């Protein structure tokens, strides 16, 4: 029993999960039951997949020991590329493939430069953040492309899938992708390499793991998920703007960290990233419902990030201090 408690306390996503539960209860009471109503949940579920998909990719990358500040810009560049091509007469699927291809290339470049020149990914992706944002504006030509409703199959990505108009297709996309990435990290040999690479690089190298390649793949996954999430948001709003996703990079990092991912790499889980992203969305929404000045949103996210990390460290220390001998 003690052993189980100890293991639970050391789960990195515990603090986030507890906070999530607390906030749901608090907001539900403060909003007189509006918070968990269908109308409100519809709003939350519409936005959640977008933040959460970015967070999932960033979480995976952070576990491998790297960092991606360019996701917010990729979030805008992918749908912009796609929209410009569609307006230029390309078929939707080809345009989407090119858009995702751009994301893959950006992730690859982020990874290769970081690994080859042995520089912090913070710097590589900071540079890429500016470059990709600039490219977005250049590609748009200064005027947001206008896509007529029905010109692209948005329904497949953001259409409501139930009669009650509660759940959008994007929720399913997000769940499917999050489960796949979660299984990739937790249940495959590749996941074992990711964790070893981020957990202790010299050991991973000594055991013959191609750590450079592992990281590059994580960079690419992070980029593609950010681009895909950006596409979903642009489709939901049916507007393709060069300014989409500004600040998304830091929200994604905050989500990962709130969910227990360590900046040092190795520690963290996809579920944690999802919990972190959900918390951010709930706070945004709950604050509005509780009639708190919306300008406090970023303050709340910041405080939450610090609080979650401190809480996590504290819980983990408690867990570690529990005397359960490993000897027989």
Where do contacts with another protein occur on this chain (CB under 8 A)? 7, 184, 187-193, 195-196, 199-200, 202-209, 266-267, 320, 325-328
Indicate the SS3 state at residue 168: strand
| Closest separation in Å from C-beta 324 to another protein | 9
CA-wise closest residue to 268 among 252, 283, 281: 252
| Closest separation in Å from C-beta 124 to another protein | 25
| CB closer to another protein, 4 vs 38 | 4
| Closest separation in Å from C-beta 278 to another protein | 25
CB neighbour burial string for 125-163, b if at least 16 within 10 angstroms, e if fewer: bbebbeebbebbeebbeeebbebeeeebebeebbeeeee
CB within 8 Å of 321: residues ≥ 6 apart: none
- Token pair belonging to 229: 């999430």
Q: How many CB atoms neighbour CB 49 within 10 A? A: 29
| Closest separation in Å from C-beta 155 to another protein | 31
Q: Is 106 within 8 Å of 132 (Cβ atoms)?
A: yes
| CB closer to another protein, 245 vs 266 | 266
| CB closer to another protein, 26 vs 203 | 203
Q: Is 204 within 8 Å of 193 (Cβ atoms)?
A: yes
| Closest separation in Å from C-beta 220 to another protein | 14
Phi and psi, residue 10, nearest 5°: -90, -5
CA-wise closest residue to 59 among 265, 220, 245, 212: 265
| CB closer to another protein, 193 vs 240 | 193
Q: Is 95 within 8 Å of 227 (Cβ atoms)?
A: no
Cα–Cα dist 85/145, whole Å: 9
| Closest separation in Å from C-beta 107 to another protein | 17
| CB closer to another protein, 99 vs 272 | 272
| Closest separation in Å from C-beta 244 to another protein | 32
| CB closer to another protein, 144 vs 212 | 212
| Closest separation in Å from C-beta 269 to another protein | 12
CA-wise closest residue to 51 among 17, 16, 75, 68: 75
| CB closer to another protein, 146 vs 320 | 320
| CB closer to another protein, 148 vs 328 | 328
Phi and psi, residue 291, nearest 5°: 60, 40
């Amino acid at each position: 029993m003690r052993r189980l408690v100890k293991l639970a306390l050391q789960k990195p996503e515990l603090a986030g999960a507890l906070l999530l539960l607390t906030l749901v209860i608090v907001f539900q009471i403060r909003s007189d039951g509006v918070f968990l109503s269908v109308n409100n949940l519809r709003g939350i579920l519409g936005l959640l997949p977008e933040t959460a998909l970015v967070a999932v990719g960033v979480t995976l990358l952070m576990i491998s020991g790297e960092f991606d500040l360019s996701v917010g810009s990729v979030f805008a560049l992918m749908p912009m590329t796609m929209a410009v091509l569609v307006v230029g007469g390309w078929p939707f699927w080809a345009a989407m493939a090119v858009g995702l291809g751009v994301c893959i290339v950006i992730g690859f470049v982020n990874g290769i430069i970081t690994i080859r020149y042995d520089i912090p990914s913070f710097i590589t992706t900071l540079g890429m953040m500016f470059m990709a944002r600039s490219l977005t504006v250049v590609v748009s030509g200064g005027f947001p492309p206008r896509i007529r409703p029905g010109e692209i199959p948005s329904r497949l990505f953001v259409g409501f899938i139930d009669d009650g108009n509660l759940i959008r297709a994007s929720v399913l996309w997000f769940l499917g992708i999050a489960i796949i990435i979660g299984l990739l990290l937790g249940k495959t040999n590749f996941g074992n390499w990711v964790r070893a690479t981020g957990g202790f690089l010299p050991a991973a190298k000594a055991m013959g793991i191609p750590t450079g390649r592992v990281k590059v793949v994580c960079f690419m996954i992070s980029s593609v998920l950010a681009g895909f999430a950006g596409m979903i948001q642009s489709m939901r709003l049916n507007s393709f703007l060069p300014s989409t996703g500004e600040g998304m990079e830091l929200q994604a990092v905050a989500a990962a960290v709130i969910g227990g991912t360590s900046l040092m790499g190795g520690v963290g889980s996809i579920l944690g990233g999802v919990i972190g992203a959900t918390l951010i969305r709930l706070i945004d929404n709950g604050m509005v419902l509780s009639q708190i000045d919306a300008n406090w949103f970023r303050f709340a996210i910041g405080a939450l990030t610090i609080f979650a990390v401190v809480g996590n460290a504290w819980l983990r220390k408690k867990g570690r201090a529990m005397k359960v001998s490993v000897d027989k």
